[in-house]
Chains A and B, each alone.
Chain A
């Protein structure tokens, strides 16, 4: 049985737009992306929305639903009270292209600047390496990232303070952690994280972890360990002394 639901969608571009109201017949099991598609099909054919898998795995349909960064395809209409208006807006940390679609290319530019993975010399004469599952599990958690950039969106350093020039954001810190904690990697990224990456701008408010649809423990498992590595290199005189003694 379907019921009438009210949605407010942002319609417009970077310069100007408005929150426009639509009525949708919502059936059982319907998600917000279904409702947006219904609006697009029946009432607003020019509505721009980015989507792909409808299964929470491609990270394309990121938006803000009633002020919370979420994947539209993973947000059920039944999560909201029947009389509640559901407001869908584009991610605010990135420039709007049109309606619900934002330009997230900044993330890929930042990603390019992270020093690339570089393995140590091969362990075996046949040019292969040896590592164990227990030591690769840490970076494997970060490999779950679907690049939805909801963590970037909710991060107040980017969202509110617009420090895009100075801070790489949680998603890119996760990306750096994939390489930095890899058992085969030999590159030291601490200077990059400290200066270009601006890891000091993160003040550990854990919003990134709260919104991650893949439940990656971004703050505790990626950002804080990276912060500690930066402390090793820059703020720990005892560690510096130890390095001097041990060479």
Chain B
């Protein structure tokens, strides 16, 4: 067999000397991200069954009731968290590999040429990540407020269709409250481990001992860095938790399952 070094290059999709199952990770990523995309689009599109009792789906929070918008209000909301995830440094790795095959795995051939990376439209827009991060931080506070509201139960109870009876409210916790709480904790862990936040909060400082508030910024940077080390884990966990929270509330609203009031 005679060949040139150039022939050894991975010139076509999937060409490689690797013998391990390199295709599993991108295939799983494509499956999970694709499934989430389909579910989120459907859940946003249908525009119903997004609240039950004191619970509100994260896809529809904050609750927007407007006449000028012809589509589901979820589309007005989801543009921000989805923009945050779409421009996220971790997800970029995941979907460049899984969907753009650019590269599909390390040391494996790619299908296309004329690579421009993130230097030209549309991928140059990835540089807007920090602006989506600002919005994502606001959403953490909104969703935290939703958790507080999910502990305010009507004294006279909740009807089977999820309507809350008029009257005073009392403190209470249902399974749905805990589901919403776990969701917001995971979302916060993901959001506050963001690379852009890490940069803005202290990463841009070279000399902490010279900068104003340098020590505080260093500690803040260290805290964000601690979360950032698990950014991938929180990215996936929060993706699942958002979807599962919506599924739980949707199933309650549809009457498929009954929420258990813990106390």
Contacts and interface: CB of A to CB of B under 8 A. Distances in A.
Interface residues of A, number: 62
A203 B209 contact: no
A30 interface: no
Given A67-B17, A201-B118, A229-B204, A154 B8 contact: no
Contact of B1 (A18, A182, A228): A18
Interface string B13-45: 000111100000000000000000000000000
Contact of B199 (A89, A202, A228, A234): A228
Given A67-B19, A89-B17, A228-B196, A206 B93 contact: yes
A165 interface: no
Contacts of A181: 206
Nearest to B90: A204
B102 A156 contact: yes
Contacts of A154: 106-107
A160 B3 CA distance: 18
Nearest to A154: B106
Interface string A197-234: 01011111111001100000001100011011101101
B115 A183 contact: no
Interface in A131-181: 131-132, 134-135, 154, 156-157, 159-161, 163, 167, 180-181
A203 B207 CA distance: 28
B118 A185 contact: no
A204 B118 CA distance: 10
Contacts of A236: 130
13 contacts: A15-B4, A67-B16, A67-B17, A154-B106, A163-B115, A180-B206, A198-B117, A200-B117, A200-B119, A204-B93, A205-B106, A207-B107, A225-B198
Question: Would you list the 8 A-B pairs with minimal beta carbon distance, nearest first?
Answer: A67-B17, A67-B18, A207-B106, A201-B117, A228-B199, A200-B119, A183-B207, A235-B127
